Amino acid sequence: MLKIGNLNIKYNTMLSPMASLTDVSFRKLLDEIGFIGLMVSEMISAEGVNRLNKRTLSMMRSFEFKTPQFIQLFASEPEPFVNAVKFIEKETNFSGIDINMGCPANKVIKRGAGAFLLKDPKKIASIIKEIRNNTKLPVTVKIRLGYSKVNVFEIIDILENEGVDAITVHFRLKSNRYNERANWEYASSIKERIKTVFIGNGDIWDASNAKEKLKFVDGLMIGRGAVSNPLIFAEIAGEKRDDLRFKQILERFLELIEEYYKPEFRLAKLKAHTRFMIHNKINSKKLRQRIYNSKSFKEAGNYFKSIVL
Ligand SMILES: Cc1cc2nc3c(=O)[nH]c(=O)nc-3n(C[C@H](O)[C@H](O)[C@H](O)COP(=O)(O)O)c2cc1C
């Protein structure tokens, strides 16, 4: 059990925010499976929220889920963050706010947001101070080890000073690529010094690895590994690996895409998840190609259902 702000979090494993992947259909799938403490939405532009941008609002659809849902925001200045946070607190039922200080994508960095903020500790302090003063919702922050050099200890001190409720560290620099392993060596020295809830993130693909890493942190965020196997949280909690259940999960996911998206968006949605869902699976190359080449959601869905855990 973890406490994040006023929330009691039942499991110490969480879904990491991923653009176009941790959308409402995938979060609903995990909510139905259970055994997960918290989920974070795709990153959402705070300025898009402030403009009431139609696409942004559709990405923010929230429902009554069993698992607490946090919304992740990105921006470069305190003001858009604060306005978006006020709107979310008043108009949605998200349980908390996660601030993105780790995204390396060029379009985000160019706007001075995401991991760019790691270069400006003063700006980080003013953003969190303003957000903290304007909401009662729990506020968490997701960072990396640094931008091009490690400054994670300095950033953690600032975030703690401004009263964040949890900090997630993705153990890579902004400049690291995924083919370099996440640098978990930093976990124990951060744990020794951090006072707030400390969540570790990076390269967790199975339950045994997750259990090993949980020795060094208060909680784990899992991203690609959760798309690859949505049952990973149940397996960490002690459920047996189950091929049949995995098949049912794939079928349920197709139903949820149909439930939440209009027909013209369904195929793209399925293709986005296929990239990681097919990771490490039998016949993955051939199946991936078939799904990517499919012309309809139904055709892609038939191939998708044949993925074997
Ligand atoms: C396709 C994709 C989209 C992502 N989008 C976000 C995002 O919106 N916000 C964020 O903080 N991190 C984002 N990330 C980073 C993940 O949350 C996570 O930190 C990273 O993938 C490492 O964890 P993993 O090895 O468990 O996947 C994204 C990663 C991927 C692969």
pLDDT tens string 190-235? 999 999 999 999 999 999 999 999 999 999 999 999 999 999 999 9
Average pLDDT, the chain: 97
Cα Rg, the chain, nearest whole Å: 19
Task: Report the C-alpha gap between 119 and 204 in whole angstroms.
Answer: 27
Higher pLDDT, 235 or 309: 235
Catalytic residue among 103, 108, 249, 277: 103
Task: Report the C-alpha gap between 89 and 223 in whole angstroms.
Answer: 26
Question: What does DSSP assign to residue 68?
Answer: -
Ligand 1 lined by 273 (C-beta under 6 Å): no
Ligand 1 lined by 4 (C-beta under 6 Å): no
For the beta carbon of residue 273, count every other beta carbon within 10 angstroms: 23
Give strand pairing partners of 70.
40, 96
For residue 283, what pLDDT band results from cuts at 50, 70 and 90? Answer: confident
Give strand pairing partners of 44.
73
How far away, in angstroms, is 154 Cα from ligand 1 center?
23
* pTM of model > 0.95: yes
